[in-house]
Every structure is written in structure tokens, then in C-alpha cells.
Structure 1
């Protein structure tokens, strides 16, 4: 087998395989049934055409028979008039018409025989079509039942094409979900560690911690003011409040001082503490 022959064989095999997978037996059965019905219709049309031709010959035969009777009367009348020549001519025409009638009768008989055979074949074909219809409906019911059973089995076992697609979709969804969960946890971790500064703010982590310390002091001061208004504050409490304020400042400074500093930063920090202590004493 040459290369081209082998290639042609492979192509035909692939095409046949594709056609077999794409072929629906129920559609094939319906198509075959329609083809048989078309053949039956052609046979009926042929019988109708044949019968029409036979009727035309029968009409022509009746007209000839009428002419034969007319020629008979003409021959009798010619004999009564003692016109033997006219009687002979009438009888000759009668004989010619009778010969035509015999030919027509023979043709009509042949057409009738052909018609009878076609009617028998039509009846036989119609019977076969009815039988095929019964088998077709039975086969279609069996195929549809088998197809439904196969779909159910594939769905339950997960081996069908659709279930395979569903499985892939679930896998992709799980992978995507895990990826998003990991990303969310990573972002939370980076946010907690301060690795990402607020994009809408110019403050860094140190500024935010100092701001939080100032806010705590302001809240404590306002709380002491409210206590004084309601008469629940005394001198000792005032002293404790000042001490708490100083403690808050020291804690904020200690938090800000968590990172390694040089001597200049240390000196500046001592200066800030002195200013803060002086302000508290004046209060």
C-alpha cells in the first residue's frame, strides 16, 4: 500500500468514525421510513398515470364502436337505395374501425394487466412500510430508553462528557477560591505588620502610633473633666490623672523609641520629655 493510499484509508476511517458518533439511529430510521413512503407515492402516481392512459384508450374505443354502428346504418341505407358502392365503402370503414377496436382492446388489456401488477406491488410495499413503521417505533423506543439509561449511569458514575466538564469547573473554582483566600490572608498579614502604608495618608507607622498616644491623652483629659463636673474627682484623682498623662507620654515615646536611634535622636527625645513634663506641671 502506497503512502497516498494509506493516507486516504486513514482519512476515510476517521471520517467514518466521526459519522458513526454523529449519527442518530432514530433520525436514520425516520429518514428510511420517509424514503419508503416516497417510493409508495411514486408507485401510486405510476398507477394513476397508467389508469389515465387506459381510460383514454377506452374512450377512443367507445368512439370507434359508435362509428362502427354508424357505418352499419350507412350500409343498410345504401342497400335500400340500391347504392352498392356506398354500402361497400361504409362496410370498408366499418371493417377498419373494428380492426382499430381490436388493437385498442389488446392495448387496454395489457395496460390492465400492468395496472393489476402495480396495484399488487403497491399493496405489498404498503404492507412492508407498515411493518417497518412498527419496527421503527419499537427500535426508537429501545434506543431512547438505552440512551436515557446511559445518561443516568454516566451522571451517577461521573464518566460522561458533561460531568467531566462539571468536574473541571469545580476544580478551577476550588483553585481560584484557594488562591483568593491565600491572597486575602497575605494582604491582612502585610496590613497588620505595617508593610503597606495608607495610600491616602502621608503618615508612616511612627506617626500613627504617636497620634494614637495623643488621642488616648485627650480622651483621659476629657474623662477627668466630666468627673470634675459631676463632683466625683478629688485632688488625689487629679494627681493620678497627671501621672497617667505622663505615663501615656512615656509609653508613646518608648514605642516610638523601639527602633535603634542615634545620639541626636536620643537628645531630641529627652528634650521632648522635658517639655512634656513642664507642661504637665503647669497644669
Structure 2
């Protein structure tokens, strides 16, 4: 297998591992689990509240029925009294019998009302405890989520600073390739400079006969150096342009005075 093929395979494996790791992170994200648990508790609380509403409705229905029976109970008493006033003992007896039967029904209804009231009280207590528990869980959930998000952000920042990321290898390779290209280009520039200077390459921008001028200038410089050496050996004046002082640089390469 070629080196390019091996590099591509390695890159594909790295991408696959990165995507798999991200998928696992999403599956294991505790924030999602906390939200799911909170939603389940909220659903339970809503069920309890619906049951409480149903019990309250049933209690109200019993109370309305009791009020109707109470009104009838009182009306039967009034009818019995009216029958006696009219000398109708038979009608008075009938009214009292119905009132006695209604009284037993009211007692049974009152027991139902007491049972429904107790059930309502118990559900209200459960609803209050569950609501408090859900609210406490919500507060703790948000705190844990905030801590997890902060830790996750810190990990990502640390990985970015340390170069620990999915693009670390690519970044390192890119830097190495760039450095190699710069070094190659610098070497090539130096080599072409030497070739141009030596005349091995023709400078197409140079003036005609520039090579002769270059060689003559080099000869003149060598002759001037030889002259300065002879003067120094014979104990003559030091080379021009070597005076001291803040403005001494102005004397560099000054022409020698005419002897």
C-alpha cells in the first residue's frame, strides 16, 4: 500500500473514532438524563394534580347532592306540619316516612363526603410534598448542569491550549510541511544568488556587459585593499574613515587625499 493510501486510511480511522466518541458523549451526557428524570417527576406531579382535581369535583358533587337532600328534608318536615294542620294524619305520616328514609340516605351521603374529604386532604399533602421534591430536584439539576457545562468548557479550552483535539495531527503536519517548504525556498534563493553572482546563470535584467563591470569592480577593490595593506606595513597613516567620535561614520569610504 502507498504512503498516501496509508495516510488516508489513518485519517479515516481518526475521523471515525472522533465521531464515535462524540456520539458516546451525547449518549452519556448527564444533562440529558437529568432532564429526563425531571420531566418524569413533573408528569407524576401533573397526574397527582389531575387526581386531586377529580376528587375535588367529586366532593363538590356530593355537597350539591347533600344540599338538595337537605332542602327536601326540610320541605318534608314542612309538609308533615301542614298536613297535621289540615287534619290529614295520613299525609303527615307519608311525609314523615319519606323524611325518615331520606335521613338515612343523607347519613350515607355524609359518610361519602367525609371519605372524599379525607382523600382530598391526603392528595393535597402528597401534591405539596411532591411539588417541593420536584422543585428541589429542579434546582439541583440546574446546578449540576451548570457545573458540568463549566467543566466541559474548561476541558475544551485546555485541550485547545494544549493542542489536544481532533485536528492536532493535521495542524502538526501542516506546520512541518510549511517549515520544509520555507527551508527549501530559502536554500533555492541562496543557490540562485550564488549562481547569478558567479555568472553561472545569466541575469536577464542586467545591463549589457554587466559581467565585465562586475569583474573590473572586483579587481579595483582588490587593488585598493592591497594599497591599504602596503601603507599600513610601511607605517603610514591609518586607513581613511577610521576616525573616532560620534560622527566618525561620516568618514567611512572617504576618498584618500591627494598626496
Gap change, CA 1:155 and 1:176, over 3 Å in 2: closer
Which of 39, 42, 49 aligns to 1:34? It is: 39
TM-score normalized by structure 1?
0.53
Gap change, CA 1:28 and 1:82, over 3 Å in 2: same
Counterpart residue number, 1:128:
133
TM-score normalized by structure 2?
0.57
Counterpart residue number, 1:119:
124
Which whole-Å CA distance do the structure 1 matches of 2:164 and 2:181 have between them? 29
* C-alpha RMSD of the superposition: 4.1
Which of 40, 53, 61 aligns to 1:48? It is: 53
Which structure's residues are more often helix, by fraction? 1
> Shift of residue 154 of structure 1?
1.5
Q: Name which structure has the greater RCO, CA cutoff 8 Å, separation 6+.
A: 2
Counterpart residue number, 1:106:
111
Which whole-Å CA distance do the structure 2 matches of 1:159 and 1:99 have between them? 86
Which of 60, 69, 75 aligns to 1:64? It is: 69
Gap change, CA 1:19 and 1:77, over 3 Å in 2: farther
Helix, strand or coil for the counterpart of 2:87?
coil
Unaligned runs of 5+ in 2: 1-19, 192-259
Counterpart residue number, 1:161:
165
Alignment of 1:1-283 (within 5 A): 19=24, 22-156=27-161, 158=162, 160-162=164-166, 165-172=167-174, 175=177
> Shift of residue 30 of structure 1?
2.5
Which whole-Å CA distance do the structure 2 matches of 1:38 and 1:21 have between them? 24
> Shift of residue 18 of structure 1?
6.0
